[in-house]
Amino acid sequence: MSEQNLSPVFAARGLVKRYGHVTALDGTDFELYPREILAVIGDNGAGKSTLIKVLSGAIIPDEGQILLNGQQVRFHSPIDARRQGIETVYQDLAVAPALNIMENIFLGRELRRPGLLGSLFHMLDKRRMLKDTVRYMQDLKIGIRSMNQRVETLSGGQRQGVAVARSAAFASHVVIMDEPTAALGVKESHMVVELIKQVRDRGLPVILISHNMPQVFEVADRIHIQRLGRRAGVVKPSDISMSDVVAIMTGAMTVPGEKIAR
Amino acid sequence: MSNVIAQERPEASPPLSLRSRITQILSLPAVGPLLALLIASAFFTWRTDKFLTGHNLSLIVQQVVVVGTLAIGQTLIILTAGIDLSNGMVMALGSVIMTSFAVDYGMNPIVAIVIGLLVTTAFGLLNGTLITLVRLPPFIVTLGTLNIAFAVTRIYTTTTITDLPPSIIALGKTFALGKTAITYGSILMLILFLAIWFVLRETAWGRHLYAVGNNPEATRLAGISTTRLLIGVYALAGFIYGVAGLLLVARTGVGDPQAGQTSNLDSITAVVLGGTSLFGGRGTILGTLVGALIVGVFRNGLQLIGIPSIYQVLITGILVILAVSVDQLSHKGQA
């Protein structure tokens, strides 16, 4: 690991979340380093989705801290997390199908025209938004002909491409992808995986939640294994076999050697 | 559509073939209604010389002014995937307050109008608040406020308010355009249509309105306060119903507590005929103007060629089913 990668971009210490008698998170730690894809995996009930919801601001933990670039932060809502540079891509294609690509990319962050037209009449600067949209899509090598196309005319993979482009364009620190390929076919999933790599290669660290083990092994730099509300360990796909990871996930095996791979 | 995303090079403005241009134009939401309007107008022009005259066209617009204005508010609400059954009754209440305060209490007509507008806006605010904060379905909420507004109007007065001061019916006055007399009310309705068209098309608020009707969850996740947005939409609609009330007073010259009893369905008819989807998120405000005019043209034209007006109702019914079928079928092809 190089010098600049020593401190995590995004981290959590001792996260606890209880629902009545059920403890979903039982002191989970978490670290995400610059320029990496960190996969988060875990069996049902391991606290994987609770962890992700805490990191994306959808759930407020009972205990523990969240650190963004070493500074403690508190998120009260996903919008709060977004404002601090953490964007989330959801599995269920969170786009408005009847709006076009440009309108979806800029939904809630529209640009207004300069001068009176913008300040007095609140008029949108469609030309500038169109230009930026083309650039965002080109950055990720997503080839769609017209940005004025309604999102409903796109395939599932292309729609997810729009969602990924939006998060990559506006995230200043972290992109969280919550099962981004769960609703897609094999070929389309593959394209989204390529997009995830593009996002990392352009300098943004990615947290990837996935059930798809071959996909995790293909794309992840490190794998965070969640078990019984805690982090069972972090492994590198190059150091371990898929079956051993599944064994750790289910508790049949513990993490060999150093528990937290770097 | 190709399955491969990293295939074509992105361009801002792709060259389109003539055929795809034509398909694109035909798939625009208001083109079907506009064709229906033009065909109906051509038919009546062919059957009678009295149809295509400045006087008659001005009359048609005057006849649709009240329902057309109500339908502006209704369109905004239907675009958010809501519905408003209360609008006719809220309008009646507004018009009774405006006229009664001016006549019975001798209030300055302008003040009376402002109070009327405030009351209709408050009803919109009430609808929006119950729908968003108490999370009740729009159909039920507005069914309730329909009854409340009706009852309040009838408790307040059952007699028609007459002898109105001139300033309260000023919008019914006309000006001459060539030889044709046009009411100021018609112009006000058209200005409202254009203003809302601009807002829906060119402002973020307008685009959010479509987004919330299309996918409320995605809209919320995009950081937009859907509660504030929806309350704003219902309040604005309420204000527009107040304007419709003022136009009604100007057109009839009285304050009528019996008015507006079928206006809710008439305004929904105009919206649907105009190609706006009852599922929300799709449609245009100018389509609604066309939808209102379709009803007006049939009523006027059939009367001119001596066919009983009940046939206008029959045709409207058929057109509504046709319009909703097109909407439903165009949804089927989409994921």
B283/B28 Cα distance (integer angstroms):
9
Chain segment B229-263, per-residue pLDDT in tens: 999 999 999 999 999 999 999 999 999 999 999 99
CB A211 within 8 A of CB A183: no
Of residues B87, B66, B297, B323, the one with CA closest to residue B172:
B66
Dist. CA A181–CA A212, nearest whole Å: 9
- Distance of alpha carbon B161 from alpha carbon B249, whole angstroms: 10
- How far apart are alpha carbons A31 and B186 in whole angstroms? 65
pLDDT at B172 over 70: yes
Of B10, B223, B281, the CB nearest to A98: B281
What are phi and psi for residue A64, nearest 5 degrees?
Answer: 100, 170
| CB-based contact A90 B221, cutoff 8 Å | yes
Cα gap B313→A135, rounded to integer Å: 53
What integer is the mean pLDDT of A60-64? Answer: 95
Measured in degrees and rounded to the nearest 5, phi and psi for residue B315 equal -65, -40
Q: Please, which pLDDT band fits residue B335 given cuts at 50, 70 and 90? A: very low
Which pLDDT does position B15 carry in this prediction? 54
Contact residues on chain B for A96, CB-CB shorter than 8 A: 210-211, 214-215, 218-219, 281
CB spacing of B218 vs A94 below 8 angstroms: yes
Smallest Cα–Cα separation from B242: which of B82, B105, B83, B112?
B112
Q: What is the per-residue pLDDT for A2?
A: 45
Residues of B in contact with A194 (CB under 8 A): 6
First to last CA, chain A: 7
Q: Which two tokens stand for residue A39?
A: 């996969």
Q: In the predicted model, is pLDDT for residue A258 greater than 90?
A: no
Residue B25 has pLDDT above 90, yes or no: no
pLDDT of residue A62: 95
Q: Is A77 on the interface with B (CB under 8 A)?
A: no
Could you give the percent of chain B with pLDDT greater than 70? 90
Determine contact, residues A160/A93, Cβ cutoff 8 Å: yes
3-class state of residue B233 by DSSP = helix
Angle between helices B54-79 and B226-252 (to 10 degrees): 160
- With contacts defined as CB-CB under 8 Å, which chain B residues touch A56? none
- Residues of chain A with C-beta less than 8 angstroms from the C-beta of B202: 121-124
User: B1, B2, B4, B5: best mutation site toward chain A, by most A Cβ within 10 Å?
Assistant: B5
Residue B211, phi-psi category: left (phi > 0), alpha (psi -120 to 50), beta (remainder): alpha
Tell me the chain B residues in contact with residue A187 when contact means C-beta distances shorter than 8 Å: 3-4
A116 touches chain B (CB under 8 A): no
pLDDT-based confidence at B16, cuts 50/70/90? low
Percent of chain A predicted with pLDDT > 90? 62
In chain A, which residues have their Cβ closer than 8 Å to the Cβ of B13? 146
Q: Which of A99, A121, A122 sits opposite B214 (nearest CB)?
A: A99
Read off the DSSP letter of residue B165. Answer: -
Contact A110 B207 (CB under 8 A): yes
B151 pLDDT above the threshold of 90: yes
pLDDT tens track for A118-149: 989 999 999 999 999 999 998 888 888 788 89
Residue B10: its pLDDT value, please?
42
How does residue B68 score in pLDDT terms, banded at 50, 70 and 90? very high
- Give one DSSP letter per residue of chain A, joined into a string: --GGGSS-SEEEEEEEEEETTEEEEEEEEEEE-TT-EEEEEE-TTSSHHHHHHHHTTSS--SEEEEEETTEEE--SSHHHHHHTTEEEE-TT--S-TTSBHHHHHTTT-PPBPSSHHHHTT-BB-HHHHHHHHHHHHHHTT---S-TTSBGGGS-HHHHHHHHHHHHHHH-SSEEEEESTTTTS-HHHHHHHHHHHHHHHHTT--EEEE-S-HHHHHHH-SEEEEEETTEEEEEE-GGGS-HHHHHHHHHTSS---S-SB--
A105 → chain B, closest CA residue: B222
What does the mean pLDDT of chain B come to?
90
B299 at A interface, C-beta within 8 A: no
What average pLDDT does the structure give for chain A? 90
Question: What interface predicted TM-score (ipTM) does this complex get?
Answer: 0.84
- Of the pLDDT bands very low, low, confident and very high (cuts 50, 70, 90), residue B309 is confident
Q: Which residue of A has its CA nearest to B9?
A: A143
Confidence of residue B13 (pLDDT cuts 50, 70, 90): very low
A155 interfaces chain B, CB cutoff of 8 Å: yes
Q: In angstroms, rounded to a whole number, what is the distance separating the alpha carbons of residues A137 and A23?
A: 41
Cβ atoms of residues A104 and A96 within 8 Å? yes
CB contact under 8 A, B203 and A194: no
Q: B2: pLDDT confidence band, cut at 50, 70 and 90?
A: very low
Over the range A199-213, which residues count as b (16 or more CB within 10 Å of their CB) and which as e?
Answer: bbeeebbbbbbbebb
pLDDT at B24: 63
Percent of chain A topping pLDDT 70: 97
Tell me whether B2 touches chain A (CB under 8 Å).
yes
Query: Is the CB of residue B297 less than 8 Å from the CB of residue B60?
Result: yes
B1 closest CB neighbour out of A147, A154, A194: A154
Non-local (6+) Cβ contacts of A130 within 8 A are A102, A147, A148, B12
Q: Is the pLDDT of residue B8 over 60?
A: no
- State how far residue B306 is from chain A, nearest Cα, in angstroms: 43
Predicted TM-score of the model (pTM): 0.88
> What is the mean predicted confidence (pLDDT) over B184-206?
97
Give the chain A residue nearest B195 (alpha carbons).
A121
**Which of B5, B223, B335 shows the shortest C-beta gap to A79?**
B223
CB contact under 8 A, B203 and A123: yes
Least CA distance to B332: which residue of chain A? A152
Q: Which two tokens stand for residue A148?
A: 């004025």
* CB pair distance less than 8 Å for A143 and B8: yes
CA distance A219 to chain B (A): 18
Strand order in the sheet with A71-73: A22-32, A10-19, A63-68, A71-73
Categorize the per-residue pLDDT at B43 as very low, low, confident or very high, splitting at 50, 70 and 90: very high
Which residue of B lies nearest to A131 if distances are taken between CA atoms? Answer: B12
Least confident of A82-86, B19-23, B45-49: B19-23
Helix (H, G, I), strand (E, B) or coil at B212: helix
pLDDT value of position A144: 81
Residue A157 is predicted with a pLDDT of: 86
> What ranges in chain B are assigned the alpha helix state H?
18-27, 31-47, 54-79, 87-103, 109-132, 138-156, 184-202, 204-214, 216-221, 226-252, 263-273, 285-304, 310-332
Distances (CA, A) of B122 to B118, B150, B252: 6, 15, 25
| Residue-wise pLDDT tens digits, A6-40 | 789 999 999 999 999 999 999 999 999 999 999 99
Placement of tokens 């629902």 in the chain: A19
Q: What are the pLDDT digits (tens) for A221-248?
A: 999 999 999 999 999 999 999 999 999 9
Question: CB of A109 within 8 A of CB of A125?
Answer: no
* Residue-level pLDDT at A39: 96
Q: Does the beta-carbon distance from B3 to A194 stay under 8 Å?
A: no
Alpha helices in B54-137 (DSSP H): 54-79, 87-103, 109-132
Q: Cβ separation of A131 and B208 shorter than 8 Å?
A: no
What is the dihedral angle through the alpha carbons of B161, B166, B169, B175, rounded to the nearest 10 degrees?
Answer: 150
Residue of A53, A107, A191 to mutate, testing the B interface (most B Cβ within 10 Å of its Cβ): A107
Asked whether B104 and B233 are in contact (CB, 8 A), the reply is no
In chain B, which residue's Cα lies nearest the Cα of A111? Answer: B204
Taking CA–CA distances from B224, the nearest residue in chain A reads: A108
Q: Above 80 in pLDDT, residue B66?
A: yes
pLDDT at site B223: 85
pLDDT of residue B4: 41
Mean pLDDT throughout A196-220?
Answer: 93
Sequence letter at residue A28: T
Residue with the two structure tokens 């009430």: B126
Quote the pLDDT of residue B81. Answer: 97
Nearest CA in chain B to A106: B222
